[in-house]
C-alpha cells in the first residue's frame, strides 16, 4: 500500500458508527434538551417523545453491533434481586387483571405503561459505556431553558402582563420534572468542576418552582434539599437509611390509615376501612386500575387520599406493595453508591420524585411514568460520562 493509500484509509470513517452516534445524540437530545421545554407546549409532548427518544437510543446500540451486549446486560439486571422484584411487580399487575372491575380500561392502561417501562429499560441498557461530554452538556441547557420559560411565563402573569401563555397543566408538569432533572444537571456541572454554574442552575430551578403554578413542587423541592444536606458527606449511609425508611413507609401506610382518626385525618381512616373490609383483597388487591373504577362509582370519595402508594395498595394489595418497596429500597441504596460526585444529587432527585409520588395524585398518571423514564436515562448517561475517573469534591460557594 502506498503512502497515499495509508493517508486515505486513515481518514475514512465507519458509516455505521457515524449513524449510531447521530441516533444516540438525537435520542438523548429529546430527553435532555427538548422535553424540559417542549412539554410546556402540549400535555402530550412527553408521552409522544419518550418512546421516540428511547427507540433512537436502542437503534444506535444495534448499529454499534451491541445487540448481544444489550441482551446480556438486560438479562443480568433482570436476574438480580431488585430486577426480580420489578418483574414480580409487573407479573402481579398482569395477574390482577383477572379480577379488576373494569378490565378493558385496565388492560389498555397497563400495557401502555409497560410499553414505556420496557422501552425505557432497554434504552438505559443500550447506552454506551462512555457518554460524550458534548451530549451531556445538553442536560444543563435543557433544564435552564425549561426553568427560564417558566419564570418568564409565571413572572409576567403575576405582573399582569403575560408574555407566554401555556396550555392548562403543562407548567405544573414541567416544574415537577425540573425538581428532579435539575439535580442531575447540577451534578454534571460539578463533575466538570463548574460549581458556580451548578449553583446558578439550581437557583434558577428553585426560582421557577417558587414562582411556578404547582405548590406541590415546593414540598418535593424541600425534601430534595433536606436529603442533599443529609447525603453530602456520607451518601452511602444516607442511601441505606433513606431506602429502608421509604420502604418502611410504603409497607406501614395501612397502619397510618388505621390511625387516621387518632391523627385527625378522616379521609385516610375511611381509605383504611375500605381496603381492610376484605382480608383476601387486602393481600391481593382489587385489580389494576381498580381505584379509578371505585372513584367513578363513588366508593372512594373525593376527600380520600390519592397517591401512587395509596393506589398501589388498593389495586395490588400487600404483595404489590412489598415488591414495590423492595424496588424503592434498592433504588436509594444503589444511588448512595454512585460516589461523592454524583450520589448526593441523585439521592436528592430521588427524594423529590418519591415525595411527589407519596403525596400527589398526579403521580398516578401516564405522563409521570414517562418523566421517570426521562430521569433514569439522563441519570445513567451522566453516570457513564464520568469515564470512571475520581475527582475531588467541588465546593459550592455562594
pLDDT 10s digits, 155-172: 777 777 766 777 767 778
Q: Please spell the DSSP secondary structure of 279-323, one letter per residue.
A: HHHHHH-S-TTHHHHHHHTTSS-TTS--SHHHHHHHHHHHHHHHH
pLDDT category, 5, cuts 50, 70, 90?
very low
Mean pLDDT for 120-127 is 89
pLDDT category, 219, cuts 50, 70, 90?
confident
Mean pLDDT for 210-216 is 76
At residue 63's C-alpha, the angle toward residues 61 and 65, to 5°, is: 75
3 state DSSP class of 159? coil
Q: Does position 24 have pLDDT exceeding 50, yes or no?
A: yes
pLDDT category, 395, cuts 50, 70, 90?
very low
Q: What is the model's pLDDT at position 68? A: 65
Do residues 188 and 385 touch, judged by C-beta distance below 8 A? yes
Mean pLDDT for 41-70 is 83
Average pLDDT, the chain: 83
Mean pLDDT for 142-163 is 82
Spatial distance between the Cα atoms of 190 and 91, rounded to a whole number of angstroms: 40
Place of cell 454506551: 128
Total residue count of the chain as it appears in this document:
398
Is 333 or 391 the better-scoring residue by pLDDT? Answer: 333
pLDDT category, 174, cuts 50, 70, 90?
confident
Q: What is the model's pLDDT at position 387? A: 63
Closest CA to 351 of 233, 255, 229: 229
pLDDT category, 17, cuts 50, 70, 90?
confident
Of the chain, the end-to-end C-alpha distance in Å amounts to 61
Spatial distance between the Cα atoms of 246 and 88, rounded to a whole number of angstroms: 19
Closest CA to 47 of 58, 39, 59, 37: 39
At residue 179's C-alpha, the angle toward residues 187 and 117, to 5°, is: 90
pLDDT tens readout for residues 270-300: 778 888 888 898 999 899 988 888 888 877 7
Spatial distance between the Cα atoms of 339 and 390, rounded to a whole number of angstroms: 9
Do residues 185 and 385 touch, judged by C-beta distance below 8 A? no
Pull the grid cell for residue 5.
493509500
Please give the C-alpha separations between residue 234 and each of 134, 230, 351, in angstroms, as whole numbers: 30, 8, 16
pLDDT category, 8, cuts 50, 70, 90?
very low
pLDDT category, 389, cuts 50, 70, 90?
very low
pLDDT tens readout for residues 336-355: 988 888 899 999 999 999 99
CB count, 10 Å around CB of 10?
A: 7
Closest CA to 382 of 237, 188, 235: 188
pLDDT category, 396, cuts 50, 70, 90?
very low
Amino acid at each position: 500500500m502506498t503512502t497515499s493509500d495509508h493517508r486515505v484509509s486513515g481518514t475514512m470513517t465507519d458509516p455505521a458508527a457515524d449513524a449510531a452516534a447521530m441516533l444516540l445524540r438525537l435520542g438523548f437530545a429529546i430527553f435532555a434538551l427538548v422535553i424540559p421545554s417542549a412539554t410546556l407546549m402540549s400535555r402530550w409532548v412527553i408521552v409522544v417523545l419518550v418512546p421516540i427518544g428511547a427507540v433512537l437510543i436502542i437503534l444506535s446500540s444495534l448499529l454499534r453491533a451491541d445487540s448481544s451486549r444489550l441482551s446480556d446486560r438486560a438479562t443480568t439486571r433482570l436476574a438480580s434481586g431488585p430486577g426480580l422484584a420489578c418483574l414480580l411487580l409487573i407479573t402481579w399487575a398482569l395477574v390482577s387483571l383477572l379480577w379488576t372491575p373494569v378490565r378493558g380500561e385496565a388492560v389498555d392502561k397497563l400495557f401502555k405503561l409497560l410499553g414505556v417501562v420496557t422501552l425505557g429499560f432497554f434504552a438505559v441498557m443500550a447506552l454506551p459505556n462512555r457518554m460524550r461530554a458534548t451530549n451531556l452538556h445538553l442536560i444543563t441547557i435543557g433544564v435552564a431553558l425549561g426553568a427560564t420559560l417558566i419564570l418568564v411565563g409565571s413572572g409576567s402573569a403575576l405582573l399582569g402582563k403575560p408574555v407566554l401563555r401555556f396550555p392548562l397543566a403543562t407548567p405544573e408538569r414541567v416544574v415537577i420534572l425540573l425538581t428532579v432533572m435539575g439535580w442531575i444537571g447540577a451534578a454534571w456541572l460539578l463533575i466538570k468542576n463548574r460549581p458556580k454554574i451548578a449553583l446558578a442552575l439550581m437557583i434558577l430551578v428553585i426560582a421557577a418552582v417558587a414562582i411556578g403554578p404547582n405548590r406541590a413542587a415546593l414540598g418535593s423541592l424541600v425534601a430534595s434539599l433536606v436529603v442533599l444536606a443529609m447525603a453530602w458527606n456520607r451518601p452511602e449511609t444516607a442511601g441505606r437509611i433513606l431506602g429502608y425508611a421509604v420502604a418502611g413507609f410504603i409497607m406501614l401506610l395501612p397502619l397510618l390509615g388505621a390511625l387516621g382518626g387518632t391523627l385527625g385525618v378522616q379521609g385516610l381512616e375511611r381509605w383504611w376501612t375500605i381496603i381492610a373490609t376484605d382480608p383476601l383483597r387486602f393481600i391481593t388487591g382489587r385489580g389494576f386500575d381498580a381505584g379509578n373504577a371505585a372513584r367513578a362509582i363513588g366508593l372512594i370519595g373525593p376527600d380520600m387520599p390519592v397517591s401512587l402508594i395509596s393506589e398501589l395498595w388498593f389495586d395490588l394489595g400487600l404483595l404489590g406493595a412489598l415488591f414495590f418497596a423492595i424496588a424503592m429500597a434498592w433504588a436509594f441504596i444503589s444511588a448512595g453508591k454512585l460516589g461523592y460526585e454524583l450520589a448526593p444529587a441523585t439521592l436528592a432527585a430521588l427524594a423529590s420524585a418519591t415525595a411527589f409520588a407519596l403525596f400527589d395524585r398526579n403521580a398516578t398518571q401516564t405522563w409521570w411514568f414517562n418523566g421517570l423514564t426521562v430521569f433514569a436515562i439522563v441519570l445513567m448517561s451522566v453516570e457513564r460520562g464520568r469515564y470512571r475517573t475520581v475527582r475531588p469534591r467541588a465546593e459550592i460557594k455562594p
